[in-house]
Amino acid sequence: MKRKEFSLFLVTLLTLALVLPGCGASGVTAEAPGEEDSEEYEAAEWDGEDEDWDEDWEEVEEDGDGEKEEDGDEEDDEDWDEDWEEVDSDENDNDNDEEEDWGDDEDLSAHAKEMSTDENAFATEFDWFLDYISGGKYGFCDMIMDEAQRERLTSQEADGLNGGWKCFITTDPETAKKEGSVDRYLHADIDTDGDDFKITLKWWLVNFPGSDGTKEDETGTPDETFKGSWDSDETVHTASELGNVDITEFYESGEGDECEQYAIGKFQWNSGEVDYIGLMRGTRGW
């Protein structure tokens, strides 16, 4: 290589040496971020997620979903309150109905006077009773066996039971099958205040067993009063020199002109024999 050409080569190298360091200083090479830069980057990234989350909730609120759920809860609460108000109203109506049925003591006493009778019993009037003590096979006693048709009377309605009743006394069905039935037709008076209980039997006619149908007039027999009390709200126990009268069921069926009252129990004679006793009366007449 000639000297002149060598000199130009050196000048070119020197020029390149001066130019190349300037390229690094111009920022062409990127530096890795430091810790401070990383934290700022992460913070910016989380801020972005929070903003997205907030935006999601804003969209839910704008759609009204949250409000609808709260409104739904309020509606459910209102429906529940309305249901309870209806229940309370129904119970009050039932209470009012019971009060209207029985009312106060004066109403009960008036009801008893209306129901009272001074008539004696007749056989055809007690088919329901014979059917009842035989197990209700023939449907004659549905008005006291069907809970939908009857109302059980207790000592609370004692004033509504006072007065005259038709009364029927008959032999226990099992005994009647073997020995025949002795049937008594008579009248009874009840006097009770809800604690004490008196029933007076006024004898009239007795029908003895047998094909000839022998009857005997008992009107000359003195009246017999059985005294006692209510054993519970529903049952009565009384006694006299003749024996005991225990009434276990009082019922009322129907209303108005079709109202009837019934009583069922047992008559235990001092001799040890046990008969059934039934009482009935009604405003519809028999």
Residue-wise pLDDT for 95-120, tens only, equals: 444 444 445 678 999 999 999 999 99
Q: Find tokens 């024999």 and name the residue.
A: 273
Per-residue pLDDT tens over the stretch 135-153: 998 888 998 888 888 999 9
- CATH of residue 244's domain is 2.40.128
Decide if 64 is inside a domain: no
Residue 67: band (very low, low, confident or very high) from pLDDT cuts 50, 70, 90: very low
- pTM: predicted TM-score of the whole model, two decimal places: 0.64
Decide if 15 is inside a domain: no
pLDDT given for residue 54 in this prediction:
52
Sort residue 272 into left (φ over 0), alpha (ψ -120 to 50) or beta: left
Decide if 80 is inside a domain: no
pLDDT given for residue 35 in this prediction:
46
pLDDT value at 211 more than 70: no
Cα–Cα dist 232/105, whole Å: 20
Buried b (16+ CB within 10 A) or exposed e, 51-83: eeeeeeeeeeeeeeeeeeeeeeeeeeeeeeeee
pLDDT given for residue 86 in this prediction:
57
Average pLDDT, the chain: 77
* Long-range Cβ pairs for the range 31-35 (8 Å, 24+): none
Decide if 19 is inside a domain: no
Q: Find tokens 């000048």 and name the residue.
A: 11
pLDDT value at 87 more than 60: no
Q: CA angle, 146 as apex, 157 and 116 as ends, to 5°?
A: 40
Decide if 53 is inside a domain: no
Q: Which of 10-14, 172-176, 276-280 has the highest mean pLDDT?
A: 276-280
Nearest in space to 144 (alpha carbons), one of 285, 286, 66, 252 = 252
Decide if 110 is inside a domain: yes
Decide if 257 is inside a domain: yes
Nearest in space to 246 (alpha carbons), one of 209, 199, 202 = 199
Decide if 33 is inside a domain: no
pLDDT (average), residues 32-61: 46
Residue 36: band (very low, low, confident or very high) from pLDDT cuts 50, 70, 90: very low
Looking at the structure of the chain, the number of domains it has is 1
pLDDT (average), residues 72-91: 54
Tell me the residue range of the domain where 158 lies. Answer: 103-282
